[in-house]
Structure 1
Amino acid sequence: MMPAETPTAMAARNAWLEADNARLRRLLERHDAPAELRHRLRATLGLLREIIRRSAGFRPEAAVYAAHLEDRLLSLVRMHGAIDRSGEVDLHTAFADELVTYTLHEGQRLRLSGPDILLQTRTAQTLGLAIHELAVNAVEHGAGTGSEGRIDVSWRLEDGAPDPILRILWKETGLTGVAPPSHRGFGTQVLDEMMRHNLDAETELAYDPDGFRYTLAFSMPPHVGRKAEPR
């Protein structure tokens, strides 16, 4: 087992990341990159810094930490690919594409249901992190580990003022002996604190006897997302 990263080393790494990100921002400004590109890269860099800093606190073994970090960054890359294709991300596609990466396919054990919702860039990036953590937790500890497990993901739009509320429910069933974790890891921080901070969302994590349940609700003005027009 490799030694845990010391506070001094962690501080030095974070300082290097900050300096490197600053150099990239200066380069973008100097070469007159399009405003939308600058905005998206700044948002991505901010998310990357948050992922790295939060992950380091919960994965002291260097090899394990690196593997989980790479997995999270690949998830972010997949979401960027979806954004680049159309500029918006379909909510159903965001769930389906991330879950299929972990061999969770729609069918008897996985159900996705809800209206057609299109998410804007920042919302899709942030929500993609939550979807990734839910998927990984399911295949490592939850309904994705055995033949009896089932995952139901549903979402709906509720009346709100001045904008509608998007409410998402992730529910795992078919398990036994489910109990809350003994500590709050990075995944829990993403699902709770990061969603509250970045989306101004309401969140609930519940550990039922037969499975895990997660609820996420946030306001959806046009710059966050919209209901797709009927085809």
Structure 2
Amino acid sequence: MLKRFPHGNMKRLLPLAAFLLVAAVGAGVTAVVYRTEETANRARFEAVADEAADRISDRVKEHVALLVATASFLKASGGAVPRAAFRRFVEGLDLDGEFDGVHGIGIARVAAKEDDAAVAAEIARSYGVERGVWPETDQPFRTPIVVLEPERARSSATLGFDMYSEASRREAMNRAIASGKVRATAPVELLREVPGEAQTGFLAYYPLPESRPAASRLPAVSGFVYAPFLAHDLHTAALDERYGLPVEIETRDTTANASVLLYRSADYAISGASPRYRLSRTIDVAGRTWTLSMHETPGYMRGRTNFYSFIVGAISLLLAAAIAASARWQIRAVESAEQLRAVSEQAVKDKELILQEMKHRLKNAIARILAMARQTGAHADTVEDFSSSLSARLQAMANAQDMLARSRWQRADLRDLLMTELNQVFGDAAAESRIAGESVELNEKQTQAFALTFHELATNTLKYGSGAESKGGLSVHWTLAGPPRGRMLDLTWEETTGTAVAEPESRGFGSRLIDANIKGELGGTVERSYGENGFSIRIVVPYR
């Protein structure tokens, strides 16, 4: 069976529920805005990555175009170009200024082994050095380097080197012969082409066509225009700092499912530990496939701090808090209105109770006066005695009432409170009552409750009980029992009459007033007994 929440708990949970609901909606909107901003940031980075890939691709194409231009120059010169003219041509290209990454431009002759002497003579004519073709090889033909400019591009081991003897170079030259186009090698260490320390790069070859007899062992080319490319210089030039591309890059040759590192920027591994955006692009480089892996630099996100996501999130939280506070204030306003209505209703009830009590007290006061008049008349011998005695009793009654009114029944001794009420009702006859009990000090609530209770009991005794009979008697005794923190005040009011007292069929206002004070106000119990010899009431209340 489902347990229903109390209405108060539901009202207390309403502001929290409103906050959570609005916050959840705000979180959803913030997430959408964040994804939108992230999509925009990624799109911007993709544009940066595409630009970087295009710059590298365009740079390689421009450099490769030099080989075609050089081949055209040789063709226009009839194929036999003196070294001095070739040097001036290369110097005019301004490789250092406009074509960083191209280490030089050279010519490799296609020759048979028996042509080694002719090749050595050509090198001697061009450079004035004695250099033969090397190394020894079992390949069907040779491609020794006979020209390489500018001078900085040559090492002591450059001229006469048979590039066809090395597998990577040979594979690229074979593809160039077959296609008639520029073809590049896989990444290689440029040991001989570059003076000094070995550097990673690649070589590109452009074939120089030549007609040969069908039975010739040589291919239908006279040689190759070639160039060594330094990978680091080429990428650095393409990604010049002037362009301000916030990208770290790693380039690998992935032709035929291989993966050979060609270039890696200095901070690629450092800043790439946890990249936010990672992209890859592929480009074609003279018949080979390069894969460029890129991610952003640490400075890419500088100034792109998801501003709108933060603003939307902050506004959502503020709105949720404002709605929750508004709901709480509204609930408090409703509760205040309910409390005011309850206070008004209670005030009406209290007013009615006061009117009823005043009416009851007025009737009791009249009944007391009549009872005192009868008792006084029964014992007075003359009219003067009757008048004097009745006046004295009425004055005592007024004095007792005035004392209780002045003290507001705030604190009182139980015996004093009881005797004040008995003296007010019975006058001198009150001394004949048997009163027994230890000293008990009552607090404000107890004083008011017992004062009303004693008033009702004394009035009823005067009207209907032992006070109305000459042979009647009254006994009141009380005790305190129990531990200090749980002590109970046990009081018994016992009336002795000459006739039997029957239990009334219904309870009047006085009985209900006693129960309301003892049970309702003090949390005690009331036991009434009716018998042949009179009436008793036992009152037990917690004593604090």
Calculate the TM-score normalised by the size of structure 2: 0.28
Residue equivalent to 2:431? 107
Aligned counterpart in structure 1 of residue 471 of structure 2, from 140, 148, 157: 148
Distance apart, 1:107 and its partner CA: 3.2
| 1:151-166 equivalent positions in 2, closer than 5 A | 151-160=474-483, 162-166=485-489
- One-letter amino acid of the counterpart of residue 353, structure 2: E
| 1:81-92 equivalent positions in 2, closer than 5 A | 81-82=406-407, 88-92=411-415
Residue equivalent to 1:126? 449
Distance apart, 1:163 and its partner CA: 2.4
Aligned counterpart in structure 2 of residue 194 of structure 1, from 517, 528, 532: 517
Distance apart, 1:123 and its partner CA: 1.1
- One-letter amino acid of the counterpart of residue 534, structure 2: G
Deviations 1:75-110 (A, max 9, x none): 8764343457xx5201001111111111254433x1
Q: Does 1:205 align with 2:528?
A: yes
Distance apart, 1:152 and its partner CA: 0.2
- One-letter amino acid of the counterpart of residue 522, structure 2: L
Q: Does structure 2 retain, via aligned residues, the 8 Å contact 1:138–1:144?
A: yes
Structure-2 change in CA distance of 1:76 and 1:128 (3 Å): farther
Q: Does 1:94 align with 2:397?
A: no
Q: For the aligned residues, what is the CA RMSD?
A: 3.2
Aligned counterpart in structure 2 of residue 68 of structure 1, from 351, 360, 363: 363
Q: Tell me how many residue pairs correspond in the alignment.
A: 168
Q: Does structure 1 retain, via aligned residues, the 8 Å contact 2:364–2:459?
A: no
Structure-2 change in CA distance of 1:208 and 1:142 (3 Å): same
Aligned counterpart in structure 2 of residue 52 of structure 1, from 355, 371, 376: 355
Deviations 1:30-49 (A, max 9, x none): xxxxxxxxxxxxxxx95x75
C-alpha separation in 1, matches of 2:475 and 2:466:
10
Please, which runs of 5 or more residues in structure 2 have no aligned partner? 1-343, 367-397
- Which stretch shifts more, 177-186 or 96-105? 96-105
C-alpha separation in 1, matches of 2:496 and 2:365:
29
C-alpha separation in 2, matches of 1:51 and 1:218:
24
Distance apart, 1:111 and its partner CA: 1.3
C-alpha separation in 2, matches of 1:66 and 1:97:
16
Residue equivalent to 1:29? none
Distance apart, 1:133 and its partner CA: 0.4
- Which stretch shifts more, 157-166 or 211-220? 157-166
C-alpha separation in 1, matches of 2:472 and 2:361:
29
Q: Does 1:181 align with 2:504?
A: yes
Q: Does structure 2 retain, via aligned residues, the 8 Å contact 1:113–1:153?
A: yes
Q: Does structure 2 retain, via aligned residues, the 8 Å contact 1:172–1:212?
A: yes
Structure-2 change in CA distance of 1:139 and 1:216 (3 Å): same
Q: Does structure 2 retain, via aligned residues, the 8 Å contact 1:89–1:124?
A: yes
Structure-2 change in CA distance of 1:149 and 1:97 (3 Å): same
Task: For residue 514 of structure 2, give the secondary structure of its aligned residue in structure 1.
Answer: helix
Task: For residue 148 of structure 1, give the secondary structure of its aligned residue in structure 2.
Answer: coil
Residue equivalent to 2:540? 217
Q: Does structure 1 retain, via aligned residues, the 8 Å contact 2:499–2:534?
A: yes
Identity %: 24
Q: Does structure 1 retain, via aligned residues, the 8 Å contact 2:490–2:539?
A: yes
Distance apart, 1:209 and its partner CA: 1.4
Task: For residue 156 of structure 1, give the secondary structure of its aligned residue in structure 2.
Answer: strand
- One-letter amino acid of the counterpart of residue 355, structure 2: I
C-alpha separation in 1, matches of 2:477 and 2:407:
21
Task: For residue 127 of structure 1, give the secondary structure of its aligned residue in structure 2.
Answer: helix
